[in-house]
Homo-oligomer: A and B are copies of this chain.
Amino acid sequence: MKAVLVVLDGLGDRRCKSLGYMTPLQYARNRVLDRLAAEGETGLVDVVARGIPNGSDTGHLALLGYDPFTCYTGRGPFEALGAGLSLSHEDVAFRCNFATVADDGTVLDRRAGRISTEESRELAESIQSMEIDGIQFIFRHTVEHRGVLIMRGEGISHRVSNVDPHGKTSAIQKPRPLDDSPESLKTAQALQKFLEKTSQILQAHPINIKRREKNLPLANYILTRGAGRLPNLAPFEQKFGLRAAVVAGGALYKGVCRAAGFDVVNVEGATGTVNTNLGNKVKAVVESLKTHDFVLLHVKATDTLSHDKKPREKAEMINRVGDALEKMLEQLTTDTYVAVTGDHTTSSEVGDHRGDPVPVLIWGPDVRGDRVTKFDEISCMEGGLGRIRGVELMPILANYLGTLELYGE
C-alpha cells in the first residue's frame, strides 16, 4: 500500500468579494478534486491548532506528524537543509537576504534590487567562511538574493532576534539575545561582528562597485532571520513504517522533509513558482512510488497568488493542479491512497496567512466515505473525518496503509 500527500501551499482561503463571495476552491470547482472528495472522505484541518495562523515550516512539520510546539525553534535550519547543506543539531542556522542598507542603517531594499543569482553567488564566495569569537560562520548563497548562514561552535544559542526588519520598520535591527542566557548574548554579539565585517567586504566588492556605476542598489548587507536549531526528529520511516520521498520546488519543503529522513527528488522545472512544471512533478511522483511507500507533492504557487491577492489566479492554479492530478491518478496502482490538503490558510483578500482551518480529503481503497461531494472549505465541514489537527493526518493515513504498530494487545 502506498500514499501520495498533495500539499497545495496556503490552499485554504476565505470568501472573496471578487469571486462573488466564494473561496478560490469553491470558484475553481475542480472536477478532479471534487471527484476525489466525493469518492473519499473529507474534513477540516487545524494545521497547528484552532485559530493559530502558521507558517509553512510549522505547517509541514505538523502535516508530517511532528508537533511543531515541541520540536520547532526557527525556519533557518530547514532552509539550510533544503539548500543541500549538512548541519548538526548544535549548529544555529538563519535565512538570509542580501539587502541594500544606507549608512544610517535604513533598509533601502530588502532584496538588493532583486539581485541576480550569478552576482549573489560571487558575493557569497567572498564571505563564505570566517571565525569570530571562536565561532565558525558558514554562509551559502541559495537563489536570487537569498542565502543561509550557519553558526557553529561551543556555547551558542538560537535565541537571537531577526536583523531583517521584514517590512515592520525601515531600520535595520541589531541582533538581540531573546533570553538571559550567556549563550544568547555571545551569539548576538558575534553575529553583530559578522554582519559588520561582511558589510565592509561586500561594500568594497567588485560586484557592488559595478552596481554603483550602474546606479543599481548595492548588496551591502546581510539580513538574517529565522534563527533555529535542527530538531532531532524521530525518522519518518520509524514513526510510520513508510519509506518516503518529497517532490517540491522550494528549499524549505525539501528541508523539512530531509529533517524527517525523506529522500529528496529533484525535478527539472520544479521552481516553487507559478511557472512550475506540474507535469514533471507528477511524473516524478509516479516514478518515486516505485521505490517509496509515501510521496509528498508540494505546490507553492497557490500561496504566492494568495499573498499577491489574486484569488482568481489562485483558482486557476488549483484547476491546473487538479488536471495534473488526473494524469497522476491514471498511473497509480489500485492500492494507492491520495490525500490533498494545504499547510495553512492564506487569505487572498488579506494577502497573508490566517488561522482558518484547511480542507482535507483522503481517497483510496478502504476509506469509509461520507456525503461530501465537493472539495472546498465549506463542504468539507460536513466530512467524515470531522475536524482534525495537522499532526493527526499521518496516523490516519498510516492506519489505512496498515503500517502502524498496535498500541497495547
At the interface, yes or no: A51 with Cβ under 8 Å from chain B? yes
A407 pairs with B51, CB closer than 8 A: no
Q: How many copies of this kind of chain does the complex include?
A: 2
Contact of A404 among B355, B378, B404, B405 (CB under 8 A): B355
Per-residue CB contact flags for chain A residues 341-365 toward chain B (1 = under 8 Å, else 0) read: 0000001001011111000000000
Chain B proximity of A224: nearest CB distance (Å): 13
Per-residue CB contact flags for chain A residues 384-407 toward chain B (1 = under 8 Å, else 0) read: 101110001011111100101111
Per-residue CB contact flags for chain A residues 37-51 toward chain B (1 = under 8 Å, else 0) read: 000000010001111
* A interface residues, tally (CB under 8 Å): 55
Contact of A387 among B378, B381, B386 (CB under 8 A): B386
Per-residue CB contact flags for chain A residues 148-187 toward chain B (1 = under 8 Å, else 0) read: 0000000000000000000000000000000000000000
Contact of A378 among B57, B74, B369 (CB under 8 A): B369
User: Beyond A68-B408, A368-B15, A386-B44, is A51–B399 a contact (Cβ under 8 Å)?
Assistant: yes
B51 pairs with A404, CB closer than 8 A: yes
Output the nearest chain B residue to A50 by Cβ-Cβ distance: B392
B378 pairs with A370, CB closer than 8 A: yes
Could you tell me the distance between the alpha carbons of A388 and B52 in the complex, rounded to whole angstroms? Answer: 14
Enumerate chain B residues within 8 angstroms of A408, measured Cβ to Cβ: 48, 54-59, 68, 72, 75
Output the nearest chain B residue to A381 by Cβ-Cβ distance: B384
Chain B proximity of A397: nearest CB distance (Å): 7
